[in-house]
Amino acid sequence: MPELPEVETARRDVERAACGHRISRVSTVDDTIVYEGVRADAVAAALTGRTLVGLDRHGKHLWMKLDRRPWPMFHFGMTGWLHVYREEKDRPRFWKIELLFDHGVRVAYRDPRRLGRIRLRHDPPGEPPVSELGFDPVLNLPGLAFFKAQLARRKAPIKAVLLDQSFSAGVGNWIADEVLYQARIHPARRADTLSGAEIARLRAKLDCIVTHAVKVGSDEAHFPRTWLFHYRWGKTKGAVDGRCRPISFGQIGGRTTAWVEAVQARPR
């Protein structure tokens, strides 16, 4: 479930587990889809013997800072993840790369569906794909004036704009729906028709939702019961939110979208 909070949680977990340690061995699985623009053995060669200095993130992109460049970058797609463990027998199915650190910790990237990517970059924030991203709502949430100016130029449904990584990097399907639900804005509303008050609510809810999700380490059990998140999965017929109001499902911005008519007024 890799949207911004999940990627940030993975970043912190790996940082805590392996920061300051040397990569003594790298194992890889050949995969010409997941490794983009680089072969698996070239990644292994670049990482072997290096020391992990830290990890940075922008949107859903995560990269390791090493004592020598280039650095490895990870995007999780729909099903990618970084696993931390100590025993070789715990290596996950569908793994693509495993780093063995000098203190015995292992970090593996796994991706069953292979929509994720492993890349090598000399300057991750200065080169695509990261250089093409919009703001990261946790790292640098812009002020209200920026939101107003940007949304006034967009004719697409607000849901589609929130999913656009060149606008808000890291926002994915559930966060977009959650923000619109809490801001009481219908997902099909054209972005350029939102009022100043609606945009202010949108920005505030985006801030509060990603901040909270990151704070609790993306642990869904610690998401407030008032969040739509808990009730939206499975498109169950008769699904209702935390106050028993029916949930609608549809396709907006090319993605399954959940909203509550009683809360989010339809576009006129």
Active site residues: 2-3, 60
Only segment of 15-23, 39-47, 203-211, 246-254 that touches DNA (CB under 7 A): 246-254
Whose Cβ is closer to DNA: residue 26's or residue 163's?
163
Residue with tokens 């698996």: 40
Angle (CA) 222 224 227, round 5°: 125
Whose Cβ is closer to DNA: residue 22's or residue 190's?
190
Q: What are phi and psi of 211, to 5 degrees?
A: -60, -45
Is 157:75 a contact under the CB 8 Å cutoff?
Answer: no
Alpha-carbon distance 168 to 185, whole Å? 17
Whose Cβ is closer to DNA: residue 33's or residue 144's?
33
Alpha-carbon distance 134 to 157, whole Å? 18
Q: Which residues are within 8 A (CB) of 83 and not within 5 positions of it... i.e. 6 or more apart?
A: 90, 92, 95, 107, 108, 109, 110
Size of the site for DNA (CB under 7 A): 35
Written as one letter, the residue type at 181 is Y
**Minimum CB–partner distance for residue 218 and DNA (Å):** 9
- Kindly state whether residue 156 participates in binding DNA, applying the rule CB under 7 A: yes
Residues in the chain: 268
The single residue among 47, 172, 182, 264 that binds DNA, judged by CB under 7 A, is: 172
- Kindly state whether residue 75 participates in binding DNA, applying the rule CB under 7 A: yes
Whose Cβ is closer to DNA: residue 37's or residue 54's?
37
The single residue among 19, 84, 115, 262 that binds DNA, judged by CB under 7 A, is: 115
Alpha-carbon distance 6 to 103, whole Å? 26
Whose Cβ is closer to DNA: residue 66's or residue 160's?
160
The single residue among 53, 78, 139, 262 that binds DNA, judged by CB under 7 A, is: 78
Alpha-carbon distance 145 to 196, whole Å? 10
**Minimum CB–partner distance for residue 6 and DNA (Å):** 6
Only segment of 43-51, 66-74, 75-83, 100-108 that touches DNA (CB under 7 A): 75-83
Alpha-carbon distance 177 to 258, whole Å? 6
Token pair in block for residue 158: 């607000």
The single residue among 3, 8, 178, 241 that binds DNA, judged by CB under 7 A, is: 3
Residues that bind DNA (CB under 7 A): 1-3, 6, 33, 59-60, 75, 77-78, 94, 112-115, 129, 153-157, 160-161, 163, 165, 172-174, 191, 235, 251, 253-256
